[in-house]
Chains A and B, each alone.
Chain A
Amino acid sequence: MSSVKDWAAPTPISENRSGLIGKGVDRYEGRLKVTGTAPFAYEVEAPSPPAYGVLIASPIAKGRVTLADISEARVAPGVRLVWTPHNVPAQGERGAKINPRSQRGSNPALAERVEHFGQHVGFVVADTLENAKAAATLVRFEYAAEPADLIFEDRFGAAEQPEGEEDVRIGDFEGAFAGSPVRLDETYVSPLQNHAQMEPCATTAWWEGDHVTVHTSIQMVKGGQHTLAETLMIPSTQVRLVTRYIGGGFGGKGQAYDDLTLAALAARELGQPVKVAYTRQQMFQATIHRPAVHMRVRLGAQPDGRLDAFALEVVTHCRREAPFTEHAANFARSLYAAPNRLTGHRLVKLDIPAAGPMRAPGEASGMLSLECAMDELAEQLGLDPIELRLRNEPETDPETGKPFSTRQLVRCMTEGAQRFGWDRRNPTPGQVRDGRWLVGLGMAAAIRGNFLLPAKAGVRIDADGTITLRQGMTDIGTGTYTILAQITAETLGVPLAQVKVELGDSDFPPAPGSGGQFGAATAGSAAFAAGMNLRKALAELATGDPNSPLYGDDPELVTFGGGNIAVDNRAEPLDRLVARAAPDGVYVEGSITPAADARDYSQHTYGAHFAEVGVDPDTGEVRLRRMFGVFAAGRILNAKTAMSQITGGMIWGVGTALHEYNEVDPRYGSFIAQDLAGYHVPAHADIADLSAMFLDEVDDKANPMGIKGVGELGIAGAGAAIANAVYNACGARIREYPLKPEKVLAALP
């Protein structure tokens, strides 16, 4: 196993001779996307015209399908098949694995047992979408409904410690808190939220013999391939899963859903390609969501602001049969110094759709609590909120004592304060007016963990000099295609136009996919390793070829640049070398594994958000006026796509603060909001001047390239900055998100 020390040496990435690393080049697949020619899963050309599948959802939350009458639907125009729990073909039992190396178990569809509202209980395939939709209304179901636990707040008494977890206690929290001269004890609530990706889940499937090909919208290639193989009870070598373009993921497409299972099953049954897409309503009711969290924060401080005692205790929920914990307290374990600490989670099991990861799981909702509590404490102490944070800046990780790999939180705050004009903030709320608007400023810190997972990549050079990187990785809009092209081109010293990137295919060397902001570091490090291996192979090829000007040179002295391979002033173009010495091309693979000592460091990305809002004191409406963030996230690979990731995350934070929430209907267990009119994601008019900057940073403990993730950092803390700005504007401290007008009006002093 490697050590982080191996990563400190100069590399083609750190040397960056052609300047491609960090450059804001246009998106690799951008031209396809602006011309509408990037095929998403439902749009992929199948070998023959596909039939159309439509899903039918359960209107009850818990119970059993007792009757499914398909007689009318079966003879409706164009109908090819109608499946219900009573006639769907055999599938692997839920969670079962027959392939020993499967990462995931079976995910059967159309169970007779209903576990949540919106669970699919029927499936119709017809020659056209219109016929399938019409026939789906003709299937008649009867149910035996059972009492269901639907409302989170009603079930607090049943909250349990998540299996295998313990609270983290350092020192004596209770004793220290009781003795602290300044205390805060408040509970903050972040509601249930939905991913609302623009592209609904979709699959196109077809079979050739006993092999199935599926094009689907999923963030994890291997996970999807293995799930489908287990569900179909076939070896994973008989499943090829392809996911070239994904219309938004945000964690919600980290797993396979019923479209994948049923498209594959129906295509096998009919001997014809089948495609299936979720409706927008099904996206709400039958995928995953971010669960609601109740967060009790207790802070005990000295009059100078130093924290003696810190606690963050979280209660959240999941579906009864699908354990998942929103770890909303974890971020706080590395954020502020306090000798006496308590963090932990409790979980309520409900009969509603499954909770799961959504962009920055943990931080996105968790930071809405502590980062407001710090604002409240600062006011109690008469300190500036930034000064309070500076006084609690730890030397080492406050929980583990490990050194930080890098930590520029202080600089993020001070640089941001200066650029944003924080000194213009009046610490007394409600003092600044602009016409009818009360205007306020708020800030919050951001922290998000950084990760590296095992991954592989393959790279080949052909006789025409084209270099092709292949990886079972996904690009969910994050810029993966683009940064992999930049890494590969810089590593091999060739122009960007000479590099092709092919992703999202289970036939390619595996990578874990997109999630947890580990994608760039993980996939990128494997691509870099593959590129370095190709350099080595080409150096040996050239120095061993009597026809090369490098013949007999030491392969260690070979350099790459400008499309050439060289030693001193002897050089030849790569395409000439390959065409002559390896006319079939050269293919190598590379891999990355976490360093054995990587976890000896506390490793995170950091930032600081600054927001200016206007509050209408007559209507309670909050408008964002200005927002700015400063972030430190290692070496930035692409200034343009990284910025898009960060500002996109910040806008998600605006949504968490002001707009987004869903509720469960206590009668049915359905979500009240089940479309994009009812569930308001930030729209263009909600976003005013919003920008960000990155601090220079290289984290040589993170991976061989010194990069980190940026996909989730932007949302962490962003909503708290807005809530703090609302308080500063009008004196309304609202601890239950989102800050809707009626709550603001009720809380106005």
Chain B
Amino acid sequence: MKTSFTVNGQAASLDLDPRTTLLDALRERLDLKGSKKGCDHGQCGACTVLVNGQRINSCLSLAVTHEGDAITTIEGLAQDETLHPVQQAFLAHDAFQCGYCTPGQICSTIGMLKEAADGWASLVTEDLTADVVLTDEEIRERMSGNLCRCSAYPQILAAIRTAGGLA
């Protein structure tokens, strides 16, 4: 099936097998291998990308459903040699070890910060009428869809605080 979307600002037009997930389309068709396959079941978050600014598990989404969407992957975050602030914070705080979940963690962080800025509540939000305050507990809850088996969680938290101006 012919499908067109933009990835990292560039138009992509693909003839896709309808069974192809967005993750496999990115990795195997568009050579964007930064998004990782950890479980292929939406359980680990390593495949997280931004679609129209929102974070999704790209392994759970068929590529042909993304006609006209604007997709951002880990490869689209740095401006030439300048890292995105979230990437820079992950590097500075050693918020990863093996690095396999890292692209997903970083994309998820960017999506999460926007959700909070837009006032989206989480399970641990006490007051649903007030502005969201990104406490450590809020960050941990909102980032729990991204597993890190190396268990860099304290460092990820520190990186998100820095990147989100919450330090």
Interface of A toward B, CB cutoff 8 Å: 24, 26-27, 29-40, 42-43, 128-131, 134, 195-200, 245-250, 277, 279-280, 476-479, 640-641, 643-645, 647-652, 675-677, 681-691
Instruction: Tell whether, in the assembled complex, residue A200 and residue B38 are in contact, meaning their CB atoms are under 8 Å apart.
Output: yes
Q: Which of A27, A134, A476, A683 has the most chain B CB atoms inside 10 A of its CB? A: A683
Instruction: Tell whether, in the assembled complex, residue A199 and residue B143 are in contact, meaning their CB atoms are under 8 Å apart.
Output: no
Instruction: Tell whether, in the assembled complex, residue B94 and residue A675 are in contact, meaning their CB atoms are under 8 Å apart.
Output: no
Q: Does chain A have a CB within 8 A of B111?
A: no
Collect the chain B residues with CB atoms within 8 Å of residue A195's CB. Answer: 149
Q: Does chain A have a CB within 8 A of B78?
A: yes
B-side interface size class: 35 or more
How many angstroms between the C-alpha atoms of A683 and B141 in the bound complex? Answer: 9
Instruction: Tell whether, in the assembled complex, residue B152 and residue A648 are in contact, meaning their CB atoms are under 8 Å apart.
Output: yes
The chain A residue sitting closest to B77, CB to CB, is: A35
Collect the chain B residues with CB atoms within 8 Å of residue A477's CB. Answer: 96-99, 150
Collect the chain B residues with CB atoms within 8 Å of residue A686's CB. Answer: 144
Instruction: Tell whether, in the assembled complex, residue B38 and residue A26 are in contact, meaning their CB atoms are under 8 Å apart.
Output: no
Q: Does chain A have a CB within 8 A of B92?
A: yes
A272 to chain B, nearest CB (A): 15
How many angstroms between the C-alpha atoms of A426 and B45 in the bound complex? Answer: 41
Interface of B toward A, CB cutoff 8 Å: 17, 19-20, 24, 27-28, 32-41, 43-44, 46, 73-75, 77-78, 83, 87-88, 90-92, 94, 96-103, 106, 136, 139-141, 143-144, 146-157
Collect the chain A residues with CB atoms within 8 Å of residue B143's CB. Answer: 684
Instruction: Tell whether, in the assembled complex, residue A198 and residue B98 are in contact, meaning their CB atoms are under 8 Å apart.
Output: yes
How many angstroms between the C-alpha atoms of A389 and B43 in the bound complex? Answer: 42
Instruction: Tell whether, in the assembled complex, residue B17 and residue A684 are in contact, meaning their CB atoms are under 8 Å apart.
Output: no
Instruction: Tell whether, in the assembled complex, residue B33 and residue A34 are in contact, meaning their CB atoms are under 8 Å apart.
Output: no
Collect the chain B residues with CB atoms within 8 Å of residue A35's CB. Answer: 34, 74-75, 77-78, 83, 87
Collect the chain A residues with CB atoms within 8 Å of residue B40's CB. Answer: 279-280
Contact A676 to B147, CB < 8 A, known contacts A39-B33, A277-B37, A691-B154: yes
Contact A479 to B90, CB < 8 A, known contacts A34-B106, A199-B36, A277-B37: no
Tell me whether chain A's interface is mostly helix, strand or loop, or mixed.
loop
Instruction: Tell whether, in the assembled complex, residue B94 and residue A641 are in contact, meaning their CB atoms are under 8 Å apart.
Output: yes
Show 27 A/B contacts (Cβ-Cβ < 8 Å), sorted by A.
Answer: A32-B99, A33-B99, A34-B102, A35-B75, A35-B87, A37-B75, A39-B33, A42-B37, A128-B28, A197-B100, A198-B36, A198-B100, A277-B37, A280-B38, A280-B40, A477-B97, A477-B150, A641-B94, A648-B150, A651-B151, A675-B39, A677-B43, A682-B151, A684-B143, A684-B148, A684-B157, A688-B140
How many angstroms between the C-alpha atoms of A476 and B92 in the bound complex? Answer: 19
Number of A-B contacts (CB under 8 A): 181
A586 to chain B, nearest CB (A): 32
Instruction: Tell whether, in the assembled complex, residue B91 and residue A31 are in contact, meaning their CB atoms are under 8 Å apart.
Output: yes
Instruction: Tell whether, in the assembled complex, residue A685 and residue B140 are in contact, meaning their CB atoms are under 8 Å apart.
Output: yes
Q: Which of B40, B87, B149 has the most chain A CB atoms inside 10 A of its CB? A: B149
Q: Which of A134, A649, A652, A676 contacts B43 (CB 8 A)?
A: A676
The chain B residue sitting closest to A275, CB to CB, is: B28
Collect the chain B residues with CB atoms within 8 Å of residue A29's CB. Answer: 99
Contact A651 to B153, CB < 8 A, known contacts A198-B147, A676-B43: yes
Instruction: Tell whether, in the assembled complex, residue A676 and residue B39 are in contact, meaning their CB atoms are under 8 Å apart.
Output: yes
Instruction: Tell whether, in the assembled complex, residue B147 and residue A33 are in contact, meaning their CB atoms are under 8 Å apart.
Output: no
Instruction: Tell whether, in the assembled complex, residue B100 and residue A684 are in contact, meaning their CB atoms are under 8 Å apart.
Output: no
